[in-house]
Amino acid sequence: SEAWNAPAMQTVPAGEQPTSVCALPLYHIFAFTVNMMLGMRTGGKNILIPNPRDIPAVMKELSKHTFHSFPAVNTLFNGLANHPDFGTVNWSNLKVSVGGGMAVQGAVAKLWLEKTGCSICEGYGLSETSPSASCNPTDSKEYTGTIGVPIPSTFMKCLDDDGNEVPMGQPGEIAIKGPQVMAGYWQRPDETAKVMTPDGYFKSGDIGVMDERGYFKIVDRKKDMILVSGFNVYPNEVEDVVAQMPGVLEVAAVGVPDDSSGEAVKLVIVRKDPSLTEEQVKAYCKTGLTGYKRPKVVEFRTELPKTPVGKILRRELRDAKK
């Protein structure tokens, strides 16, 4: 992490202590490494945010500090950038915004860049990979929509259901091999055998594609995929389109049972514009999504269920009607 961040962090003025915003729980592998361990390694300072859901309190605290690094999840970037107090914080010293934990949406990345001048640098990893497996270069000037390239000494590939590597550009389960990958689950050889390949790759459970440059893009979690009349629908793709609609603050897409198609797409939306209607959402989706990817059900809520890290809990939304 130190070497990977160096191109951006070396622009911190001499004499200034490298400072990061820690708005993630330190027991989570993302904050544990990128905030705590990296901060200790570099002699840096962390600004601890105990409750990132209290956006006004976050703004009040950040307005007191000069900071250079901000690792966060998409929902926090989105909540901050859309808050009326955003301008009370001095963002001009921000050198790197690290997106992880969940997919960064294009609309959020665009807004964050417009407001801070610092593009979101998205990375990827899991607890099983300690966590970093890939990342975009930290001196990137624009959001790439990918999770970057494997970090040094790390190998990644995409596999089909039979464990064969898929052709470039085709979706498959991301598999990772490197010194940071776990040896196995503690005293669970049965579970370990399900996720480790004979040649030592860890099967992540995430569907991704690799382009001709060697950059990987997350399509979605394998278990979150929606099957509509035999067609695969990935919630991330649907959410990325709907998140760009004016009037939408947050959105989650899940699959719900459907008599005719097996499953159908359901959207759960938090409105930015209180007058937004289901009809408007469906009409907007017709312009950006092919027929089987369009929502059959649209529900509005005041908030979406999230983990302590800020990931949206699609499972709770799926189970709500069961």
| CB-based contact 9:18 (threshold 8 Å) | yes
* CB proximity list for 82: less than 8 A, separation 6 or greater: 111, 249, 272
- 80 & 217 share domain: no
Same domain, 230 and 215: no
Which residue, of 165, 196, 221, is where some domain finishes? 221
**CA–CA gap between residue 185 and residue 128 (Å, rounded):** 9
CATH number of the domain that 275 lies in? Answer: 3.30.300.30
C-alpha 7/C-alpha 237 separation (Å) is 31
Q: Do residue 161 and residue 78 come from a single domain? A: no
Q: Is 199 exposed, middle or buried (0-12, 13-18, 19+ CB in 10 A)?
A: exposed
Place of tokens 């790197």: 96
Place of tokens 């361990």: 37
In terms of domains, do 6 and 70 share one? yes
* CATH number of domain containing 30: 3.40.50.980
Q: Among residues 128, 150, 172, which one ends one of the domains?
A: 150
Closest CA to 269 of 258, 283, 254: 254
State how far the Cα of 30 lies from the Cα of 212, in Å rounded to an integer.
28
263 and 305 share a domain?
A: yes
What span, in angstroms and rounded, lies between the C-alpha atoms of 72 and 82? 15
Q: What's the pTM?
A: 0.90
- What φ, ψ does residue 314 adopt, rounded to 5°? -60, -30
Domain assignment of residue 45, given as a range: 2-150
* 322 residues of the chain, pLDDT tens digit each: 899 999 999 999 999 999 999 999 999 999 999 999 999 999 999 999 999 999 999 999 999 999 999 999 999 999 999 999 999 999 999 999 999 998 999 999 999 999 999 999 999 999 999 999 999 999 999 999 999 999 999 999 999 999 999 999 999 999 999 999 999 999 999 999 999 999 999 999 999 999 999 999 999 999 999 999 999 999 999 999 999 999 999 999 999 999 999 999 999 999 999 999 999 999 999 999 999 999 999 999 999 999 999 999 999 998 875 5
Core vs surface per residue 119-135: b (16+ CB within 10 A) or e: bbbbbbbbebbbbbbbb
Find the farthest-apart pair of alpha carbons in the chain and give their distance in angstroms, rounded: 65
Instruction: Say if residues 284 and 245 touch (Cβ distance below 8 Å).
Output: yes
Nearest Cα residue to 117 out of 135, 86, 92: 92
Q: Identify whether the C-beta of residue 161 lies closer than 8 Å to the C-beta of residue 230.
A: no
Same domain flag for 210 and 293:
no
Neighbours of 11 (CB within 10 A): 12
Q: Clarify whether residues 119 and 240 are in a common domain.
A: no
| 112 shares a domain with 15 | yes
207 and 286 fall within a common domain? no
- How many domains is the chain partitioned into structurally? 3
Dihedral of alpha carbons 185, 188, 191, 193, sign:
positive
Q: How far apart are CA 276 and CA 33, in angstroms?
A: 40
**What phi and psi, each to the nearest 5 degrees, are found at residue 98?**
-100, 120
